[in-house]
Amino acid sequence: MCPDSGVPAEGFPIDFYRGERIGKYEVVTQLSVGGMAELFLGFTSGPGGFRKYVVIKRVLPDARDNAQFERMFLDEARITAAFNHPNIAQVFDLGREDDGLYLAMEFIAGQNLNQITGACLRRQEQLPLGFTLSVARDVCMALHYAHTYTAPSGAPSPVIHRDVAQKNIMVTYDGVVKLLDFGIAKAKDSLERTNVGTVKGTTGYMSPEQVRGDTLDGRSDLFSVGVMMHELITGARLFAGKNERDEMMKILEAPVPWPSHVAPHVPEEVSKVVMRALERSREKRFANGRDMARAIEAAAGKLLLDAHDRAALMQDWFAERMSATRVMLESADGTTNGVMLDSAKRALRSDDGPYLPERKDIPTPSNGVAGMPRKPSRKVPAAAAPRKASAAVEGTPQPPESKASNVLWGLVLMGILVGGGYAAWHLSKVLNETVDEKDASALRTLPQHDPNLPVYLGPGSGPPTDAGNTETPAKVSGGEDAEGSRSKEAASARPVKGRGKLTLLVLPEAEVFRGKKRVGRTPMFNVAMPAGEHDLTIVGPDGKKRMLSVPISAGETTQFRLKLAEIPER
């Protein structure tokens, strides 16, 4: 719901801070408490019923005598207050009271990427590739703005974030991406001078130069984006270790698997973008965030989701938390009863996990920290021949051929045999293309234009009984039906006058064809098609062809959500 700097403030009744004033802001509730600061939901009022909600960050009493933290706090306010970018959370106000320094920041109704991946894991779903790519593209553009920031005086004043990670990237319920927390950002003229060799940031997402304590530029943040993309695409942590030292060693030396080798549904062009961002030599990475954003767009093509599409997914994943947020905001009027407030509090402060599991196929380098090489390079088997780079991401490192791929699959199999935990299970699930059948009866609808989205639960289930939904469900075709009315030579579509739209989700993601023409890759939103009944060919990661019949009505949007395993093979 808001930027989070710590753990929920459990143990206090929800009205413990209600009515307290911090500067000109009235507190609704405390949101969380971290090691140095606490967060509150508050608002400021004005004539005519004006009300603006904000998140207030206040320094804790124990940290008020910490001069270094106070300088960092002031740096965060000074740096980000001047920013004006749609994908960067805004800072509105800075003040000091007897209770210490405080910041008033943009209230963001949404969830961070840790919470989003946790929601998908709980539902045993893959985070849609198009969702990950579109979020990464927007983060790259936000970083490019910060890296090339020019002060009002006209003087260049670049800002390096230094802590780009899932916890600091939020997606609002309206589908807007927001980069948070420039609390340890390094501005050109920052008041807080970092000592040589000091390491700041989230360990598993640091760049190699950040681990070594070298001077940083914007390409360090782009490495962190590459880590984030790799993890969200493959469903496992990339540089997780037993402790910070292990993670730093992996960042410097551990081999990095190609995303397309771990998750076969990932296009090779997307893998090239990720691997170029993860080059240990910064000179080989993208020159700036804008270049990386353009490369993501070129590699993703029609996979990219826009804000409307992301909003539909967020509303599906977090309907309960959205309702709780509304209750919390409405409670500022003092008309909400205590039972509803307590329920909203529990919903908003519930566990955000499970988080992504540790990958089991990346060993920790054996040499000690004292022997860290200054410029380690990625180890590639001598027999591996590089593939030709595409024009979109020229200069991107190329994947090893089948030898390295066989090694990777061997590691996956070994992980399964020895009980390698969730990561190995997840990879085997992707490779064997299975879908948990226990979710078949619990398919949720995806809110789009019509909230009464039709749901197909299996052959013979018939149309939905919801009277509010007039659309006809898709028909899964496995050859001739009971009456033998459909022949193999049947036309792929029987159009009538007019055009409609199709929204189709298939889990896991799959390619969709109408006749010999490729329609796109799921999830697909609002794809224009001629009115009539269409026989679509669905090709999943296993390469098998499946047949799905969908009716398209003129001027309407037909919407379906299916499991790939439920669609019979052609």
User: How far apart are alpha carbons 415 and 427 in whole angstroms?
Assistant: 10
What is the model's pLDDT at position 520?
83
Catalytic residue (one of 163, 181, 221, 535):
163
What is the model's pLDDT at position 363?
57
> What dihedral do alpha carbons 247, 253, 257, 259 form, nearest 10°?
60
- 508 — pLDDT class (breaks 50, 70, 90): confident
The verdict on pTM exceeding 0.75 is no
- 98 — pLDDT class (breaks 50, 70, 90): confident
Q: Does domain 110-318+351-432 have CATH number 1.10.510.10?
A: yes
| Structure-block tokens of residue 562 | 């299916």
User: How far apart are alpha carbons 561 and 29 in whole angstroms?
Assistant: 38
Q: Read off the pLDDT of each residue in 359-379 and give the average, rounded to a whole number.
A: 44
User: How far apart are alpha carbons 472 and 493 in whole angstroms?
Assistant: 16
191 contact partners, CB below 8 Å, separation of at least 6: 71, 74, 75, 78
Per residue in 307-325, pLDDT tens? 999 999 999 999 888 888 8
Domain boundaries, the chain: 1-107, 110-318+351-432, 441-566
Instruction: State the fold for domain 1-107.
Output: Phosphorylase Kinase; domain 1 (3.30.200)
Contact 126, 264 (CB under 8 A): no
Beta-bridge partner residues of 535 = 549
- 347 — pLDDT class (breaks 50, 70, 90): low
Q: Is the pLDDT of residue 216 over 80?
A: yes
DSSP string, 359-418: PSS-PPPSS-GGG--SS------TT--PPPPPSTTTTPPPPP-HHHHHHHHHHHHHHHHT
Verify whether residue 214 is a known catalytic residue: no
- The amino acid at residue 563 is K
Q: Read off the pLDDT of each residue in 271-281 and give the average, rounded to a whole number.
A: 97
Check for a shared fold between 1-107 and 110-318+351-432. no
- Which helix (H) or strand (E) segment is 290 a member of? helix 289-300
Residue whose C-alpha is closest to residue 271's, from 230, 237, 304, 238: 230
Per residue in 260-273, pLDDT tens? 999 888 999 999 99
Contact 84, 148 (CB under 8 A): no
Per residue in 151-205, pLDDT tens? 888 889 899 999 999 999 999 999 999 998 876 555 444 444 344 334 456 889 9
What is the model's pLDDT at position 305?
94
User: How far apart are alpha carbons 270 and 272 in whole angstroms?
Assistant: 5
